[in-house]
Amino acid sequence: MIKSTGIVRKVDELGRIVIPIELRRTLGIEERDALEIYVDDETIILKKYEPACVFCGSAEEVSNFKGKNVCKQCARSMVEAV
């Protein structure tokens, strides 16, 4: 469900917009966080990027190990397999 915030921002000459600090705080978006961009007809949707596990694709409880994202369950499975 899409909910209006009532906030309006203009696109600058480089194509950028500013996401207000109140929204960033509410959504847990920090400086340098990655955002995914989705398009649905004429609607642009920004979503905080959550990397997925390279083995199962889960985005739950993911940690980075040597540059690869691995979820807790797959990490546990690898330890048990050794």
Q: CB-based contacts of 51: which residues, under 8 Å, 6+ apart?
A: 59, 62, 64, 69
Residue-range domains of the chain with CATH: 1-49 (2.10.260.10), 51-82 (no CATH)
Q: What is the CA radius of gyration of the chain?
A: 17
* pLDDT for position 25: 95
pTM: 0.60
For residue range 6-48, list pLDDT tens digits in order. 999 999 999 999 999 999 999 999 999 999 899 999 999 998 8
* pLDDT for position 4: 87
Roughly how many angstroms between the first and final C-alpha of the chain, as a whole number? Answer: 45
* Separation CA 75–CA 63 (nearest Å): 9
Angstrom CA distances, 56 to 50, 62, 80, stand at 14, 11, 17
* pLDDT for position 26: 92
For residue range 40-80, list pLDDT tens digits in order. 999 999 988 888 999 999 988 999 888 889 999 999 999 99
